[in-house]
Amino acid sequence: MNTKELDKKYVLQTYGRGDIEFVSGDNATLTDTEGKKYIDFTSGIGVVSVGHANARVNAALCEQIGKITHTSNLYNIAPQAKAAEAIVNASGYDMACFFGNSGAEANEGAIKIARKHGERDGEIKRYKIITLKHSFHGRTITTVKATGQEAMHNYFGPFPDGFVYADDIQAIEALLDDHTAAVMIELIQGEGGVEPQDKEEVKALEKLLKSKHIPLIVDEVQTGGYRTGEFTASQVYGITPEIITLAKGVGGGVPVGIVMTSLKSVLSPGDHGSTFGGNYLSSTAVCSVVEILNELKVSGELENTSTYFNTKLDKFYETNKKLFTQKVGIGMMCGLRVKDADTLASIMSNAKDNGVMVLRAGRNTLRFLPPLTITKEEIDEGFKALATAISSL
């Protein structure tokens, strides 16, 4: 049986997979089973931030695999401690980290910290978490309920109690009460449709929450790891949240989920844990990825790549206004609003046929999350393929 047949027979069919099967990658270029090459403007949904088959990450991983990969969290783990130091330093926040394995798990950890903090903080138990209507926070029972999109709340109940949804940032204030444990937001909603929040509104929210001693959780699972120009989008927005979650881009393809918080003493031994989280393998990946991205940031190369990509995208948008209504995003998390969902579906399919991979977000957004190491040549090639892809539309 070929992969498609094996998948159909033995894998639960939870994804609408296409027919493509990639066998290798090199930076932002992918090769499929037929030997056909594709430019990857997706990074595997914002994960492969330093490109496919990054030689430095691979060398670090191979060296680590030769020594030790896992011991459990009952012992000291050098790469985990170093990864935490690298992440805290890159962010500039006075925080400490907990290591899990996915974005959803990081958000679960954030919610646990907020709830325990709410329990200790004053007489009334604070348990409510306010999130936004178009948010996406994960697929576990709790994070699916934290996700504000109603369509995600079909089946699977009863859900944990205490999630409250605000239409937008400005609507949060009216929902705060004595039971509010935290507010959790994405600064740029990813799955919701590349939807950046307004900077001044976010700053006003931060000020309001600080005055009420309510922690702000920023879900940076998609925005973290220099995707928006700084290590966290919180830095881009000029805010200091109490809790930040990271995952996708900081492991470069090795599963990792991280909660970082300035509420360092809320959790005590036994309150939270993970068998795999922060083991030698995943932490080594984090150390290597963050080191590479730090260098790109300091050298100015990250900024150059982002400027080049955005200049190309602007031009693509300007010359195709019959298909697109708006360009959105920050840094290398960007999108184009497509005039309707059918046109978006045609663009996605034509793009694939012409050798460039792009993403959908929300109902009508063509989303771009290229590797942060993508070269000018790869960017040129990708936009050339996109131009051909839409020429018949």
Ligand X SMILES: *Cc1c(COP(=O)(O)O)cnc(C)c1O
Q: Which stretch binds ligand X (CB under 6 A): 29-37, 59-67, 135-143, 298-306?
A: 135-143
Which of 191/206 has CB closer to ligand X? 191
CB closer to ligand X, 338 vs 361 = 361
Q: Does 195 bind ligand X (CB under 6 A)?
A: no
Give the DSSP per-residue string, 301-347: HHHHHHHHHHHHHHHHHHTTTTTEEEEEEETTEEEEEES-HHHHHHH
| Contact (Cβ atoms closer than 8 angstroms) between residue 52 and residue 27 | yes
Cα 370 from chain centroid? 13
Q: Give the span between the Cα atoms of 220 and 214, in whole angstroms.
A: 19
Q: Does 52 bind ligand X (CB under 6 A)?
A: no
Query: Which residue's CB is nearer to ligand X, number 99 or number 383?
Result: 99
Which single residue is written with the structure tokens 């939807």? 195
Q: Give me the phi and psi of 249, to 5 degrees please.
A: -75, -15
Asked if residue 108 binds ligand X (CB under 6 A), the reply is no
Tell me how far, at minimum, the Cβ of 204 lies from ligand X, in Å: 22
* 336 contacts: CB under 8 Å, gap ≥ 6: 313, 316, 317, 324, 326, 327, 328, 365, 366
Query: For 101, which DSSP code?
Result: S
Binders in 276-305 for ligand X, by CB under 6 A: none
| Shortest reach from residue 105's CB to ligand X, in Å | 7
Q: How far is the CB of 80 from ligand X (least distance, A)?
A: 19
How deeply is 5 buried, as exposed, middle or buried, from its count of CB atoms within 10 A (0-12, 13-18, 19+)? Answer: exposed
Cis preceding linkage at 158, omega within 30: yes
By the rule CB under 6 A, 137 interacts with ligand X: yes
User: Does 191 help bind ligand X (rule: CB under 6 A)?
Assistant: yes
Can residue 332 be called a binding residue for ligand X (CB under 6 A)? no
By CB under 6 A, tell whether 138 contacts ligand X: yes
Phi, psi of 171 (to 5 degrees): -80, -5
* 219 touches ligand X by CB under 6 A: yes
- Exactly one of 64, 91, 197, 222 binds ligand X (CB under 6 A); that residue is 222
Distance in Å, CB of 256 to ligand X, minimum: 9
Q: Does 241 bind ligand X (CB under 6 A)?
A: no
Query: Exactly one of 104, 113, 250, 330 binds ligand X (CB under 6 A); which one?
Result: 104
Stretch of 185-193, 194-202, 295-303, 350-358 lying at the interface with ligand X (CB under 6 A): 185-193
Smaller CB separation from ligand X, 91 or 102: 102
Is 260 near ligand X (CB under 6 A)?
no
Give me Rg for the CA atoms of the chain: 21
Among 98, 136, 226, 309, binds ligand X (CB under 6 A): 136
Please state whether beta strands 257-261 and 243-246 pair in parallel, antiparallel, or not at all (unpaired).
Answer: antiparallel
Binding positions for ligand X, rule: CB under 6 A: 102-104, 107, 136-138, 186, 190-191, 219, 221-222, 247-248
